[in-house]
């Protein structure tokens, strides 16, 4: 069935109830809408005019947890008319929301709510069929994207040639860049990752992109005539993380990694690998934030190239063994090294007198057998501390996969 069948369902219910009816997709973008019955409010008018809602209007709705609803419920947001929200689901998938204004003295009856729920279920069947059709097309596109980042050079070249032949990005020279995302393993969030990544593309004023999604991870191949600015890239990343939390809950976390730009489809695999490493950095190093960009990770640009097992082995630095049960001394040493041996700044950060800091540093030298005046010793200790922290974090999470 075609999308207009959803439109017919919306119009049928609206005429039966003599109320305005709309169906949105899971990101609260308009799919179908009935004529008005004099019950519209600013939210409905904005949705009809723009076919979607700005974040400041959609966020309060999603933060109510409607993405997890399985039955119709009443939605009340300050400044807007109350609504009935009936989730549109099929085969376990959330495919959208059916909306009815339910404000004023003439409230919806139980029978009318049941009618809305039945229409939502029928719409779910139609949208699920449409989804399966799109999935077949997407499966082919995913296959090309998977081949585009293959380890085999000939496979990559063939995939790049196929994308060029389809002219998905036009004929002019393009700048290509991969933005990858992965959520921490948690049931029920897989579809939210794909929706969040697709929504990130809409933060761009121009340009095109293709999305590859598989379970808990997804990545976006971004194509633009010019290299995006840092500000624009981080706006895309923030939109992804914001949408993901809106769909999955305030405590859900999406790690986003941005690879470096390349000027040829045949080089996209390089940006892809960098984006995955940046995702890994965002997952393992909280100080970097939820959005990490390759080339801006400091020492982690180098350290996170190591596979997990190698990283764990490298973290076993004998000189640090005696600090294993000395968290105060280990923390003091890391702060001292992070601040390039600046005693005043380190003392302020760890909240101790300089004399106390000097005492701790002497004790660290005794336990490690290293001299903090020696550059090589400092480098070994600093790398060892960073590796140990990464190894501990890595044990808590699954490794991101291509």
List phi, psi (to 5°) of 251: -100, 0
Counting beta carbons within 10 angstroms of the beta carbon of residue 192, is it exposed (0 to 12), middle (13 to 18) or buried (19 or more)?
buried
Distance CA 309, CA 385 (A): 17
CATH code 3.30.70.270 region(s) in the chain:
171-303
Q: Is the pLDDT of residue 172 over 80?
A: no
- 227 phi-psi bin (left φ>0, alpha ψ -120 to 50, beta other): beta
Task: State how far the Cα of 253 lies from the Cα of 186, in Å rounded to an integer.
Answer: 10
pLDDT of 187 reads 46
Say whether 13 sits in a helix, a strand or coil.
helix
The mean per-residue pLDDT over the stretch 46-63 comes to 73
Assigned token pair, 296: 């801006």
Q: Give mean pLDDT, residues 364-374.
A: 93
- Every domain of the chain with CATH number 1.10.10.2840 lies at 313-394
Q: What is the pLDDT of residues 282-319, one digit of tens each?
A: 988 888 889 999 999 988 888 888 888 888 888 888 99
What dotted CATH number matches 4-134?
Answer: 3.30.450.40
Is the domain 171-303 a CATH 3.40.640.10 member?
no
Q: Which two tokens stand for residue 322?
A: 């005696």
Mean pLDDT of 88-109: 88
Note the maximum CA span of the chain.
Answer: 84
Query: What is the CATH class of 313-394?
Result: mainly alpha
Mean pLDDT of 104-133: 89
Q: What is residue 114's predicted lDDT score, i.e. its pLDDT? A: 95
Whether 119 contacts 12, CB under 8 Å: yes
Query: What is the per-residue burial (b if ≥16 Cβ within 10 Å, else e) of 264-295?
Result: ebbebbbbbbbbbbbbbbbbbbeebebbbbbe
Share of the chain above pLDDT 90, in %: 38
**pTM above threshold 0.85:** no
**CATH 3.30.450.40 location in the chain:** 4-134
Whether the per-residue pLDDT at 118 is higher than 90: the answer is yes
Split at pLDDT 50, 70, 90, the class of 51 is low
CA dihedral (359, 362, 368, 372) positive or negative: positive
Residue 171 or 293, more confident: 293
Banded pLDDT at 3 (limits 50, 70, 90): very low
Task: State pLDDT tens for residues 179-236.
Answer: 999 986 554 456 788 888 888 887 776 657 788 887 778 899 988 888 888 888 988 9
Per-residue pLDDT of 232-289, as tens digits, reads 898 899 989 988 888 887 788 899 999 999 998 889 999 999 999 999 999 888 888 8
**What pLDDT, on the 0 to 100 scale, is given for residue 397?**
57
Locate 352 and state its tokens.
Answer: 């101790």
The residue whose two tokens read 């540093």 is 361
């Amino acid at each position: 069935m075609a999308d207009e069948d959803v439109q017919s369902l919306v119009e049928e219910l609206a005429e039966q109830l003599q109320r305005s009816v709309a169906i949105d997709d899971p990101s609260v973008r308009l799919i179908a809408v009935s004529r008005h019955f004099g019950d519209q409010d600013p939210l409905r008018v904005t949705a009809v005019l723009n076919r979607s809602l700005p974040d400041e209007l959609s966020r309060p709705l999603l933060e109510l947890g409607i993405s997890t609803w399985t039955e119709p419920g009443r939605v009340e947001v300050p400044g807007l008319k109350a609504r009935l929200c009936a989730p549109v689901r099929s085969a376990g998938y959330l495919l959208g929301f059916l909306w009815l204004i339910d404000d004023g003295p003439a409230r919806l009856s139980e029978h009318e709510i049941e009618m809305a729920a039945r229409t939502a279920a029928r719409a779910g069947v139609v949208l699920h069929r449409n989804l399966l059709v799109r999935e077949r097309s997407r499966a082919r596109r995913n296959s090309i994207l998977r081949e585009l980042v293959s380890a085999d050079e000939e496979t990559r070249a063939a995939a790049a040639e196929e994308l060029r032949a389809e002219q998905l990005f036009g004929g002019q020279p393009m700048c290509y860049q991969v933005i990858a995302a992965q959520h921490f393993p948690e049931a029920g969030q897989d579809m939210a990752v794909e929706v969040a990544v697709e929504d990130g593309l809409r933060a761009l004023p121009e340009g095109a992109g293709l999305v590859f999604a598989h379970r808990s991870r997804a990545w976006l191949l971004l194509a633009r005539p010019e290299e995006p600015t840092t500000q624009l890239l981080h706006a895309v990343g923030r939109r992804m993380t914001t949408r993901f939390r809106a769909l999955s809950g305030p405590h859900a976390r999406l790690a986003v990694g941005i690879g470096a730009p390349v000027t040829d489809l045949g080089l996209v695999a390089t940006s892809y690998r960098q984006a995955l490493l940046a995702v890994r950095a965002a997952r393992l190093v909280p100080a970097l934030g939820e959005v990490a960009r390759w080339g801006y990770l400091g020492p982690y640009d180098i350290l996170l190239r190591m596979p997990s097992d190698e990283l764990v082995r490298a973290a076993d630095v004998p000189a640090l063994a005696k600090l294993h049960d000395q968290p105060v001394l280990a923390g003091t040493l890391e702060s001292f090294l992070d601040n390039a041996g600046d005693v005043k700044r380190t003392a302020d950060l760890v909240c101790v007198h300089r004399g106390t800091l000097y005492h701790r540093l002497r004790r660290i030298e005794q336990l490690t057998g290293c001299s903090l005046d020696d550059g090589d010793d400092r480098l070994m200790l600093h790398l060892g501390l960073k590796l140990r922290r990464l190894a501990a974090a890595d044990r808590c999470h699954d490794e991101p996969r291509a």
